[in-house]
Amino acid sequence: MTVRLFFFCLCLAWAADARAQEQRTVNGRRYTVHIVEAGETLFAIARTHAVPVDILVAVNPAAQDGLSIGEEVLIPQDAVVKKELKSAPVLRNGELIHQVRKKETLFGISRQYGIDINQLLERNPEALQLREGMEVVIPVAKVEGAPANVLAPAE
């Protein structure tokens, strides 16, 4: 048992180290160093690190001609684009209201709330013409009363 635990901890430490990325400062600017792996493209690296491709090319001019396995690509930390937080739905008159954002689809909204597209359309027939800023009512299950057998939490 002790040998298995030791082996598990060793594998866990190795896996954590494999994804660790070096940080480097060049001319007062902080960079993350990405080591190119087989099959990676400049676009994929830019998307992974949330950095525009043109900034990667500006910092790594040789990358424009192609990438080699094991090559170091510097990713400027100050160029990382912060992802926009999704707006939270609003509870109004006992109904959940979702405001549609740019490029959202019925499928995406239905998956976000774990409901079927047909349920969404039953409540919002106008959602066939989905537009940014539109308010969509999210169907929620009604709960009638409290459950009969409620157990006290364990102490």
Digit-by-digit pLDDT tens for the chain (155 residues) are 676 766 665 555 554 444 457 888 888 889 999 999 988 888 888 888 888 888 888 999 988 888 899 999 999 988 776 555 456 778 788 788 899 999 999 999 888 888 889 999 999 999 999 999 999 998 876 545 555 555 556 55
Query: What's the pTM?
Result: 0.44
- State the Cα–Cα distance between residues 30 and 74, nearest whole angstrom: 9
Domain that holds residue 101: 90-138
**Triad 33, 34, 37: Cα angle to 5°:** 155
Whether the Cβ atoms of residue 46 and residue 9 lie closer than 8 Å to each other: no
75 and 97 inside one domain = no
**Domain presence at residue 123:** yes
What pLDDT is attached to residue 75?
92
What pLDDT is attached to residue 136?
93
What pLDDT is attached to residue 25?
87
- Please state whether beta strands 29-35 and 23-26 pair in parallel, antiparallel, or not at all (unpaired): antiparallel
CATH of the domain at 29: 3.10.350.10
**Domain presence at residue 147:** no
What pLDDT is attached to residue 18?
46
**Domain presence at residue 43:** yes
What pLDDT is attached to residue 11?
55
- State the Cα–Cα distance between residues 144 and 115, nearest whole angstrom: 20
What pLDDT is attached to residue 6?
64
Number of domains forming the structure of the chain: 2
64 and 33 inside one domain = yes
